[in-house]
Amino acid sequence: MLTMNFEAYLKALLSAPRPGADAYLAFYDHRVGGICTDPRLLLVPLDDHICHRGDGLFESICYRERTIFALDRHMARMCDGAAALNITPPCSFDEIRSRVIDVAGASGQDHGAIRVFLSRGPGGFGISPAECPVAGLYIVALADTPPDEALYEKGVTAFTSRIPPKQEYLARIKNTNYLPNVFMAAEAAEKGMDVAVTFDENDCLGEAAIANIAIIDAGGCFRTPEIVRILPGTTLLAALEIASERMPVVQGPVTHADIKSAREVLLFTSSKLCLGVTHFDGRPVGTGDCAGHPGPMAHWLRDRLLARMLETGARF
């Protein structure tokens, strides 16, 4: 095998296949200190512990109409995660927030997505955080078009996953060790369904692989699991506030029996906001004419969430 010098290796590296490159619009690496728009240079040191140990955090953020949704809540959650993992960012969270806005602006698109990665940093292939003198910070803007209206009219299907909820000490940290979520996504693909949903040993609802779940119960209450063994999703937190304007809101155990009798089952994500679940474990959700179709609260919450995100988001 040929041993290359710097120039030869760099030339080969820049010409190497780059799947997904069309979606990478702009990115920032704190080590470099600038924004780049050439996806061939979107590289992370392999000895960064985020790569070989999953020792890091990330945030998935949506922007629409040049407005970044719930940026302060995303930053607050990352700040909490950094404290839990004892990662000191290479700059302040106010600076990270500013860099997110800068990268979104450099994307050249009105609509898109942002990924923010705060890593333990490069420094070795061991497990000790002491190897890494400075944390890593990477921010990427991705192409992402608003969902088609047909998706909201169709809704999604969901089922009980064989994967258990995460342990409490990990569930509330949006860390980069996402293997359980990967297994759930593969499980959904195997079953030909959209969303796998966890339940704990007491038959209590957890969350989906990349979404929170709530129900409108038989009595007309908005119900969601307590934020203990689930991630505090930024969209769910906003939905709790908005739903309280229209109905009682309850955070507590939600069982399979509650889902079977629910008027609606709702799924919350940063990019799609609120989707109605039409079937759960093969059974239609809801009753009467609404059975097996997204219900009125799914549509109402989607519209209200979008309006709030656009009104309160960070403009660029």
- What integer is the mean pLDDT of 159-186? 95
pTM of the model: 0.96
The predicted structure's pLDDT at residue 70: 98
Name the DSSP class of 176.
S
Residue count of the chain, please give it: 316
- What integer is the mean pLDDT of 225-236? 95
Contact 211, 195 (CB under 8 A): yes
Contact 47, 119 (CB under 8 A): no
Cα 198 from Cα 176, distance rounded (Å): 19
Q: In sequence order, what are the beta bridge partners of 283?
A: 280
The predicted structure's pLDDT at residue 8: 96
For residue 215 the two structure tokens come to 């129900």
The predicted structure's pLDDT at residue 288: 86
Cα 285 from Cα 194, distance rounded (Å): 15
Match 């955070």 to its residue by tokens: 251
Match 């760099």 to its residue by tokens: 10
pLDDT digits (tens, 9 = 90+) for 12-60: 999 999 999 999 999 999 999 999 999 999 999 999 999 999 999 999 9
For residue 280 the two structure tokens come to 């759960």
- Using alpha carbons, select from 132, 63, 149 the residue that is nearest to residue 100: 63
**Fold type of domain 16-143:** D-amino Acid Aminotransferase; Chain A, domain 1 (3.30.470)
**In the chain, where the domains are located:** 16-143, 149-315
pLDDT digits (tens, 9 = 90+) for 59-76: 999 999 999 999 999 999
The predicted structure's pLDDT at residue 1: 85
The predicted structure's pLDDT at residue 153: 97
* pLDDT > 70 in the chain, percent: 100
DSSP H/E element including 57: strand 56-64
The predicted structure's pLDDT at residue 290: 83
Residue type, 174: K
For residue 224 the two structure tokens come to 């969601």
Model confidence band, residue 215 (pLDDT cutoffs 50, 70, 90):
very high
Match 């980069």 to its residue by tokens: 176
Q: Domain 149-315 in CATH: superfamily?
A: D-amino Acid Aminotransferase, subunit A, domain 2 (3.20.10.10)
SS3 234: helix
- Using alpha carbons, select from 74, 75, 18 the residue that is nearest to residue 41: 18
pLDDT digits (tens, 9 = 90+) for 104-152: 999 999 999 999 999 999 999 999 999 999 999 999 999 999 999 999 9
Pairing of strands 264-269, 273-280: antiparallel
